Homo-oligomer: A and B are copies of this chain.
Amino acid sequence: MSSISHDISPMVRKRIITLEEVAARAGVSAGTVSRVLNGKNKENRPAIANRSEHIRRIATKLGYKPNTAARSMSHGRFLAVGFVTCGDTDDDWYPISGLNGIHLAVEELQWRLMFNELPASTIRNPKIVPQLFRESAVDGLIVNLLPVFSEAVEYFEKQSLPFVFLNLKRKTQCVYPDEASGATAAVKFVVATGKKRIGFFSRRFPHSSHYSQLDRYNGVQEALKSAKIETHRHLEPLGQPGDPPMTVIERAEIFLQRFKDLEAVICYEQEEAACLTMAAERRGIRIPEKLQILGFCERDIHGNTGLPIQTVPIPFHAVGTAAIHLLRSMIETGDYRLPSVSVPYATKILTF
């Protein structure tokens, strides 16, 4: 069916090359090779520099690669950290850009990054010891476990590894986006385009389930107040407590009916923005001509689609990088309870 289905050509399996073998070929001892390759010699004198260069060339030619397991043993540390997400099918999510940021910082430190999963059911079952804690393989953990964070924090405290939680707002051991700065950026951007009647739309009424819900909401209201613009164009909770949950589109329809004069809406997330757009077009409100819609999102996912939604990019990449830096401090100082870090939004807003 596809036009691409060539064979992949044969592959040569290489034997593992050790320091010892490089040393033998170079006529020196393994210790010397190790020092040269790790730059622990000053190489002042030209004779030495030449010999060292020779050793490096041989190592390259032979395809020598240090064995990280051996290095870990001798070093007494793994020089590796783990990323932990929940892994529950159809429920797992994490920002890939966040993992990119983590990897970037890990690579700079010459560390390695393990990928781990810890389902909610495992956390809740005290009888199960997950893989992650049955063997020791890393020096610390970056944890992305929003669905069950309160239980998760207790759970990780019982372990002996340092850890950093992502996107959780506590006094210590957390790294999270500063939602107030994001809200401010969003409002400034909208105000700069001349809009006066600005709403906030979210799937739920901001409550305590995740800090970003309340922080974005409050941040928007405060920024509007600073700009002397009317606040609180937002829906209260709808329906009775026991009612079947309303879809986001239904809520969006009510929102648009309630606030007929809106010029712009800042949405809690991209999903709300998409639903609101759909609801608006159905009512004949043309987006973005008649109504400007913004959503907070990991990245600009609408490149070249033409979808009329503007994106406030959440700084997950920077969050990931900062998390590794925090974890590194914990590992190297031995103090596992360092204060949390709040990462500001960039002021730039992506456009379509």
Contact = CB atoms under 8 A, between A and B. Distances in A.
Interface of A: 1-14, 16, 63, 65-73, 78, 83, 87, 89-90, 92-94, 96-97, 99-100, 103-104, 107, 110, 112-117, 131, 133-137, 153, 157, 160, 162, 169-173, 179-180, 208, 211, 214-215, 218-219, 245, 247-250, 271, 274-275, 277-278, 281-282, 286, 299-300, 304-307, 317, 334, 336-337
B211 A1 contact: yes
Copies in the complex: 2
A100 B119 CA distance: 11
B100 A117 contact: yes
A16 B161 CA distance: 11
A306 B214 contact: no
22 contacts: A1-B180, A2-B211, A6-B170, A8-B153, A8-B170, A9-B157, A16-B136, A65-B133, A65-B135, A67-B73, A69-B137, A83-B115, A89-B317, A90-B97, A92-B96, A94-B96, A107-B131, A112-B137, A248-B306, A278-B278, A278-B281, A278-B307
Contacts of A249: 305-307
A170 B171 CA distance: 51
Given A112-B137, A208-B3, A90 B299 contact: yes
A100 B73 contact: no
A213 to B, nearest CB: 9
A12 B334 CA distance: 11
B170 A4 contact: yes
Contact of A103 (B10, B71, B87, B281): B87
A214 to B, nearest CB: 6
A90 B302 CA distance: 11
Contacts of A13: 160, 334, 336
Contact of A170 (B5, B115, B281): B5
B100 A89 contact: yes
Contacts of A100: 87, 89, 92, 117
Q: Which 5 A-B pairs have the closest CB atoms?
A: A247-B306, A249-B306, A2-B211, A69-B72, A14-B160
Contact of A1 (B137, B218, B250): B218
Contacts of A136: 16, 65-68
Contact of A306 (B70, B172, B275, B306): B275
Given A92-B100, A107-B131, A304 B11 contact: no
Given A6-B171, A248-B307, A277-B278, 12 more contacts: A3-B208, A10-B337, A65-B135, A66-B135, A71-B135, A114-B115, A248-B305, A249-B305, A271-B305, A275-B307, A278-B281, A281-B282
Kindly name the residue among A169, A180, A218, A334 whose own CB sees the greatest number of chain B CB atoms within 10 A: A169
Contacts of A305: 247-249, 271, 274-275
A160 B63 contact: yes
Contacts of A96: 92-94, 96
A30 to B, nearest CB: 16
A83 B103 CA distance: 12
